[in-house]
Amino acid sequence: MLTQLIFLATAALYVAASTLLFVFGANLIRFAVLVWRKGPVRRDTVETVSENDLPLVTVQLPIFNELYVSQRVIEAACALDYPAHLLQIQVLDDSDDETKVLVAQVVEHARQRGINIVHLHRTDRKGYKAGALADGLRTATGEFVAIFDADFVPPADFLRRTVPHFAKSDIAFVQARWGHLNRNFSWLTRLQALAIDGHFLVEQSGRGLRGYWFNFNGTCGIWRTSAIADAGGWTADTLTEDLDLSYRAHLKGWRGHYLADLIVPGELPAHVNGFRRQQHRWARGSMECAVRLLPQVWRSNASRATKFQASVHLLSYGIHLLLLLLTLLYPLVVLASARFPGFSTLFGFGYLFALTSFAPGIFFVAGQRQAGRSWLRELGRIGVVTVFGSGLMVNTARAALQIFTRPNPEFERTAKFGIEAETGGAASWTEKRYQKTIDSIVFVEFALAAYSALSAVLAFQQRNWGIFIYAVIFGLGLFAVTVTTALHAWAVHRHADRRRVVVASEQATWQVPVPSAK
């Protein structure tokens, strides 16, 4: 009797997880079909604003310990093609290392050239990035505020191509597409580029086309200052202050406008530890926003379709949680099917999952096609990024768990190393500072990879080919993430002596005593 109850509970969870995955997958396919029909990205046409009607714009550059990329973004901001008397640049610097000295010098050189730029340095980091942006707004003079993270390089025409879209009075923000300075630097950056292209060229584009709510992505966008205030301003209540503010603005009746044809290139994380911490922050922040905002979304006057899409959007990292649940259930599903043949029909319902298991691939294919790249040439990498992405399920589960176990986490920025080359070796970044020690979660991931291997063996013995395939895929993803993390940690360890020399030289150059790098 107890065994039957366990298997019944297993069946219920399995069918529920498979159904939810079907919903997420079908939605991805829907957006892929939508943008595919629209065709590749073309130049957005909008009437230009005459010189006499151009508004005041403030450019904010939030920075924290970005020694290798700060000068690059400041110089790009100073090169923006916009009337000097209508442009204010704020460098919002929370750094506690040599970055603050470098930034001060770069800003001073720009000021000597007649550029309206100010260096605002905080020492307490209260509110982290959200706090820095809010502090900057107190002295901002712009009717609009453009924001660029330190690892991005805005094109000179950014403001002239975004400002005209605010002719519609209900537009709160305009979001540009992320490009990639170092797409081909390594296989890891290639995979990230594929995933980001999919997000911006399929999901963001699809939501924009249908008028659904979408979010400002934290950088490479411009806000109407009054919309920020009306939505309640920047807050550090979640780890994704950009998503939080975007939805609060939508709830107030504001809209966003997405420009798929305006590309702002940025640097992709070269270190897998940086990548996984970035994913952890985005996953936790998204789920925090879901908890805080979904009740308000469903009480709002938005259409049911908009409410549904907002729910799918905010809960998108739940896909990893569902994959983790299925991974844990697979042995029980196989045993139940073998012992109780009557369950086979019930478990067969789980093959709904199989119908949308191609959704990520279709999603990424559509993204590459929209970008004007040969998606046929990218098919191999698309398969790899799908498998590798499943290996982040434990990382996402930890993010969800920490909402309850660590209510006030520190905002961890993703370290960047000033990489712009399309190719390069490990030494180009492992010899620099801002390295993180190996993430201990790899032991859990390795154990789950072994568990998946046992599930695959069991499924093979019982001729349960569906579970066999998925157990192999998930096991390979977990194993790939584990091995990559270990290899990168070893590369960082091997260059520790050289890194100490480099850091000592940097400290001497900037004459600011800071702790030695790990």
**R_g of the chain, CA atoms, integer Å:** 24
**What distance lies between CA 46 and its chain's CA centroid?**
29
Q: Which candidate, 163, 161, 201, places its Cα nearest to that of 180?
A: 201
Rounded CA-CA distance 428/31 in Å is 38
State yes or no: is 157 an active-site residue. no
State yes or no: is 242 an active-site residue. yes
- For the chain, the farthest-separated pair of C-alpha atoms sits apart, in whole angstroms, at 82
Whether 79 contacts 159, CB under 8 Å: no
Rounded CA-CA distance 345/330 in Å is 16
Q: Which of 94, 97, 149, 244 is catalytic?
A: 94
Q: Which of 93, 135, 242, 244 is catalytic?
A: 242
Q: Which candidate, 213, 313, 220, places its Cα nearest to that of 253?
A: 213
Rounded CA-CA distance 499/437 in Å is 14
Q: What is the DSSP string of 40-71?
A: S--PPP-PPPPGGGPPPEEEEEEESS-TTTHH
Rounded CA-CA distance 445/394 in Å is 6
Beta pairing class for 171-180 and 221-224:
antiparallel
Rounded CA-CA distance 436/240 in Å is 21
Whether 76 contacts 181, CB under 8 Å: no
Beta strands in 133-228 (DSSP E): 144-147, 171-180, 221-224
Rounded CA-CA distance 22/356 in Å is 6
Rounded CA-CA distance 382/389 in Å is 10
Task: Give residues with Cβ within 8 angstroms of 406, minimum separation 6.
Answer: none
For CA atoms 337, 343, 346, 348, the dihedral sign is positive
Q: Which residues are catalytic?
A: 94, 242
